[in-house]
């Protein structure tokens, strides 16, 4: 029996040629030819004012937390339904992640819960674009404006997605992207920070270059470089950037192929959804996604677990997603939950992800058949509410 994984990375363009070219250019450390080309192309794709590639989205989120000037005791509002790196970046500054609930239809941070959680210690909002669909950024920007907060997009999954016609990465003061091999555009490990607030741009370069003004030196703006601020080594080497550049060049094609898989799943499961057996993803108003993920919601945890096991028995990897961070051991130690987060818990218990990658091809029909068979073997009385 052939196995269908959740994700499978693949070459999509000139990766091998560009790696060889990078070696022949004679610079393997960061901020060379390909790094600069990646930065420029990410600025174009995201319509952001400045892009800086990093070695991961985790690194970009850490840079964002430093740029927020977080101090011990400061608070940052974010969803509990996210990857650990969104919260770790805050905890590493000694600040407190304040988890709020998500909207049950979009699975993105609920602006009403954010508004309710603001205190005099709140410094920033970290909004996650779950499954690539942008959060309600206008509502969040309004809250951020009213309370003088920095608005950060965790756009790890959202390269190429849009909100009211504007691309993810241009919507907040700062945005973090991931090029991890499980994302759409990949370089194994990789990421980028986009910066839209002019006052943060120079400091972002400094933090990424170990707290030095080396970027200004490279541009010939100063004749030697020195230690001017805190920072770390957040940049990738040229081998990673050369691979990444080849992927970024064909981002439109990658997105198109993934969106057609998304549409096929959506169409195939519509009858099951109409019969109340499952719930399909809801595309939030005024947004477009990039086909990063296809999830289904089941009526309860038991059905979800049974479907996941059934798929595994049939050679298809269809796993759960986030364990809510507020209930994780480190979450209980370092963070605070605002409200009971009942939606987060329910979604975490009932969500299942299906295989999604550029080369899934005709295997998608096998995945669809197994899900359909699972439901046809169950008593018809069970309905999703
Ligand atoms: C993948 C992901 C990250 C982490 O990305 P890395 O590049 O692996 O550091 C952070 N946040 C979200 C929402 C993600 O999906």
pLDDT tens column, 19-72: 999 999 999 999 999 999 999 999 999 999 999 999 999 999 999 999 999 999
Same domain, yes or no: 44 and 162: yes
CATH number at residue 288: 3.90.1150.10
What burial letters (b/e) apply to 289-305, b meaning 16+ CB within 10 Å? bbbbbbbbbbbeeebbe
Same domain, yes or no: 182 and 62: yes
Residue 56 lies in a domain: yes
- DSSP lists the bridge partners of residue 163 as 166, 287
Centre of ligand 1 from the C-alpha of residue 61, in Å: 9
Same domain, yes or no: 104 and 204: yes
Side by side, the strands of the sheet bearing 174-178 are: 50-54, 191-195, 174-178, 150-154, 122-128, 75-79, 96-100, 336-337
Same domain, yes or no: 221 and 340: no
- DSSP lists the bridge partners of residue 291 as none
Domain boundary (191, 224, 250) is at 250
Centre of ligand 1 from the C-alpha of residue 127, in Å: 13
Distant-in-sequence, close-in-space partners of 361: CB < 8 Å, separation ≥ 6: none
Band (120; pLDDT cuts 50, 70, 90): very high
Dihedral Cα 270, 274, 275, 277, nearest 10 deg:
60
Residue 2: the pLDDT is 74
- How buried is residue 90: exposed, middle or buried, by Cβ count under 10 Å (0-12/13-18/19+)? buried
Q: Which residues line ligand 1 (CB under 6 A)?
A: 56-58, 82-83, 85-86, 128, 154, 156-157, 178, 180, 191
The answer to whether the CB of 224 falls within 8 A of the CB of 254 is no
Percent of residues, the chain, with pLDDT higher than 70: 98
Angstrom distance (rounded) from CA 200 to CA 68: 9
Same domain, yes or no: 157 and 38: yes
- Residue of 7, 58, 185 best suited for mutating to test ligand 1, as the one with most atoms within 8 Å of CB: 58
CATH number at residue 144: 3.40.640.10
Residue 341: which region, alpha, beta or left (left: phi > 0; alpha: psi -120 to 50)? Answer: left
Residue 8 lies in a domain: no
Residue with CA closest to ligand 1 atom 8: 180
Residue 211 has pLDDT above 70, yes or no: yes
Centre of ligand 1 from the C-alpha of residue 177, in Å: 7
Residue 382 lies in a domain: no
Residue with CA closest to ligand 1 atom 2: 156
Angstrom distance (rounded) from CA 333 to CA 51: 34
Angstrom distance (rounded) from CA 45 to CA 247: 12
The answer to whether the CB of 212 falls within 8 A of the CB of 225 is yes
Per-residue pLDDT, averaged over 264-286, amounts to 97
Task: Name the one residue in this structure whose structure tokens are 């979009």.
Answer: 106
Residue 384: the pLDDT is 63
What atom of ligand 1 comes closest to residue 60's alpha carbon?
A: 9
Residue 385: the pLDDT is 57
Alpha-carbon 38 to chain mean position: 18
Residue 131 lies in a domain: yes
Band (375; pLDDT cuts 50, 70, 90): very high
Same domain, yes or no: 90 and 129: yes
Residue 381 has pLDDT above 70, yes or no: no
Could you read off the pLDDT of 169-179 as tens digits, one per residue? 999 999 999 99
Both tokens of 241, joined, read 């950037």
Residue 218: the pLDDT is 86
Same domain, yes or no: 238 and 265: no
Q: What is the pTM of this model?
A: 0.97
Give the chain's domain count. Answer: 2
Per-residue pLDDT, averaged over 188-197, amounts to 98
Per-residue pLDDT, averaged over 206-221, amounts to 92
Domain boundary (250, 284, 310) is at 250
Same domain, yes or no: 49 and 127: yes
Residue 219: the pLDDT is 87
Residue 10 lies in a domain: no
Could you read off the pLDDT of 290-335 as tens digits, one per residue? 999 999 999 999 999 999 999 999 999 999 999 999 999 999 999 9
Residue 145 has pLDDT above 70, yes or no: yes
Same domain, yes or no: 82 and 35: yes
Domain that holds residue 217: 15-250
Residue 382 has pLDDT above 80, yes or no: no
In 10 A of CB 145, how many CB atoms?
10
Centre of ligand 1 from the C-alpha of residue 80, in Å: 14
Q: Which of 71, 78, 75, 77 is nearest to 93 (CA)?
A: 71
């Amino acid at each position: 029996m052939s196995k269908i994984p959740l994700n499978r990375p693949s070459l999509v363009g000139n990766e091998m040629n560009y790696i060889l070219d990078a070696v022949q250019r004679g610079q393997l450390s960061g901020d060379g030819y390909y790094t600069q080309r990646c930065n420029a192309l990410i600025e174009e794709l995201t319509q952001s004012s400045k892009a800086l590639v990093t070695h991961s989205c985790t690194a970009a989120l850490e840079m964002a937390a430093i740029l927020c000037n977080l101090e011990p005791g400061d608070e940052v509002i974010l969803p509990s339904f996210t990857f650990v790196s969104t919260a770790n970046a805050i905890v590493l500054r000694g600040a407190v992640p304040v988890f709020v609930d998500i909207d049950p239809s979009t699975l993105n941070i609920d602006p009403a819960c954010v508004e309710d959680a603001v205190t005099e210690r709140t410094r920033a909002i970290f909004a996650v674009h779950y499954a690539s669909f942008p959060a309600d950024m206008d509502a969040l920007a309004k809250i951020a404006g009213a309370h003088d907060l920095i608005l950060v997009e965790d756009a790890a999954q959202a390269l190429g997605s849009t909100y009211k016609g504007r691309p993810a990465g241009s919507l907040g003061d700062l945005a973090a992207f991931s090029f991890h091999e499980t994302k759409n555009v990949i370089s194994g490990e990789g990421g980028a920070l986009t910066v839209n607030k002019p006052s943060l741009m120079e400091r972002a370069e400094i933090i990424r270059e170990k707290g030095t003004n080396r970027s200004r030196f490279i541009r010939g703006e100063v004749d030697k470089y020195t230690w001017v601020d805190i920072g770390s080594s957040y940049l990738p080497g040229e081998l990673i950037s050369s691979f990444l550049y080849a992927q970024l060049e064909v981002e439109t094609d990658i997105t198109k192929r993934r969106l057609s898989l998304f549409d096929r799943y959506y169409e195939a499961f519509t009858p099951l959804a109409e019969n109340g057996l499952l719930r399909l993803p809801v595309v939030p108003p005024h947004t477009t996604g990039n086909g990063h993920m296809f999830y289904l919601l089941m009526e309860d945890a038991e059905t979800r677990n049974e479907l996941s096991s059934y798929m595994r028995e049939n050679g298809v990897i269809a796993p759960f997603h986030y364990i809510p961070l507020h209930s994780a051991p480190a979450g209980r130690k370092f963070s605070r939950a605002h409200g009971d987060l009942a939606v987060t818990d329910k979604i975490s218990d009932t969500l299942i992800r299906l295989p999604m990658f550029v080369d899934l091809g005709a295997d998608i029909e096998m995945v669809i058949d197994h899900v359909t068979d699972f439901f046809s073997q169950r008593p018809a009385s069970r309905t999703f509410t």
